[in-house]
């Protein structure tokens, strides 16, 4: 590895895990957690900061403010510390303690929202607080990961090309739906290629992103209480909605084989397995799923037996019947 001068220059972007040994199906996992920020969010954070600097929005003395459930906040904490900006992360009670401690260790201020907006949930309340902060202090700069096109451009320029280089015969790509940045960047990239690639979005039950009803969600990362402005559902071929206890089950199954991945990864893997199980030709497909982060930040939640039983019941009660994939066009028609 070359000598680097910035913490965000340390990144392994070419690590893939074959999950056939864990689940018995040919599914490759692109691991995005091997950087100092520990997640795929480092790419979007850096792209948005650099664009804001080029546009003269971020200047000496600026304080970045962003709404984040954890991973983007950690990435921005690291970047802000290195580039000399202040940073305030607006999060909510679902953000795990390890993530909050990491941000604070890097010099960030963390503000935790505990009261949800009546119609837009905790995310809506977080965004409202960000707006108030920016109105009250001109130093604050909101990058707005939910609507910033540099969010998806980061993955159009890096994540998707790395997958295409490793798997030129790719048939299907599974991407988690959060802000829509990773999903849209990858979808746009593969839409421009001559060889068709099926793009499957994986979301959490309780998320409103694809028109479903808003329900309580305990695991941060994927899903949204407000439909992401970046989302263009026409670029998505299928959508799989995953109950959170299936997320936990997938995480534990991988951990039993020595792979400790985060909650978002558990959701994406669970959705990919669900989609592939409905396909008679699954074993002939070249399938890749994106793993946004590692599992260390989830030791007090997804990997804590007491936490799991408190929120999802005993292991014997996990595993609701598998639902079939839902096409985004059908969801748009019903909503």
Residue-wise pLDDT for 22-72, tens only, equals 999 999 999 999 999 999 999 999 999 999 999 999 999 999 999 998 899
Task: Compute the radius of gyration of the chain from its Cα atoms.
Answer: 19
Which residue from 11, 32, 12, 10 is spatially nearest to 288, judged by alpha carbons? Answer: 32
Low-confidence ranges of the chain (pLDDT < 70): 1, 315-335
Question: What does the pLDDT read at residue 333?
Answer: 41
Question: What does the pLDDT read at residue 11?
Answer: 86
Question: What does the pLDDT read at residue 318?
Answer: 44
CB-neighbour burial class of residue 319 (10 A; exposed 0-12, middle 13-18, buried 19+): exposed
Question: What does the pLDDT read at residue 315?
Answer: 56
Question: What does the pLDDT read at residue 215?
Answer: 85
pTM of the predicted model as reported, rounded to 2 decimal places: 0.89
Could you identify the residue written with the tokens 């904490």? Answer: 77
Question: What does the pLDDT read at residue 1?
Answer: 56
The alpha-helical segments, DSSP class H, found in 137-279 are 149-154, 160-166, 181-191, 244-255, 263-277
Rounded CA separation 132/184 (Å): 29
């Amino acid at each position: 590895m070359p000598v680097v001068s910035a913490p965000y220059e340390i990144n392994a972007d070419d690590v893939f895990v074959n999950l056939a040994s864990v689940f018995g199906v040919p599914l490759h996992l692109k691991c995005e957690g091997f950087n100092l920020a520990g997640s795929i969010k480092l790419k979007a954070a850096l792209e948005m900061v650099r664009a804001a600097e080029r546009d003269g929005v971020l200047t000496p003395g600026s304080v970045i403010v962003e709404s984040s459930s954890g991973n983007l906040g950690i990435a921005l904490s690291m970047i802000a510390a290195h580039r000399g900006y202040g940073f305030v992360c607006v999060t909510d009670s679902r953000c795990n303690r390890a993530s909050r401690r990491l941000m604070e260790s890097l010099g960030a201020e963390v503000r935790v929202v505990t009261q949800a907006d009546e119609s837009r949930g905790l995310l809506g309340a977080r965004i409202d607080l960000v707006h108030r902060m920016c109105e009250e202090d001109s130093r604050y700069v909101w990058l707005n990961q939910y609507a910033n096109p540099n969010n998806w451009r980061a993955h159009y320029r890096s994540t998707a090309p790395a997958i295409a280089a490793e798997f030129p015969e790719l048939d299907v790509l599974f991407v988690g739906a959060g802000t829509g940045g990773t999903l849209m960047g990858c979808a746009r990239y593969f839409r421009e290629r001559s060889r068709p690639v099926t793009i499957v979005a994986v979301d959490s039950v309780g998320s409103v992103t694809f028109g479903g009803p808003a329900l309580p969600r305990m695991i941060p990362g994927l899903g949204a209480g407000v439909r992401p402005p970046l989302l263009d559902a026409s670029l998505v071929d299928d959508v799989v909605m995953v109950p959170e206890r299936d997320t936990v089950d997938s995480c534990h199954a991988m951990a039993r084989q020595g792979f400790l991945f985060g909650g978002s990864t558990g959701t994406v893997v669970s959705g990919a397995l669900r989609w592939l199980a409905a396909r008679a030709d699954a074993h002939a497909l070249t399938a890749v799923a994106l793993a946004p982060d590692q599992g260390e930040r989830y030791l007090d939640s997804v990997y804590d037996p007491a936490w799991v039983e408190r929120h999802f019941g005993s292991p014997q009660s996990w595993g609701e019947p598998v639902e079939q994939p839902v096409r985004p066009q059908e969801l748009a028609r019903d909503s």
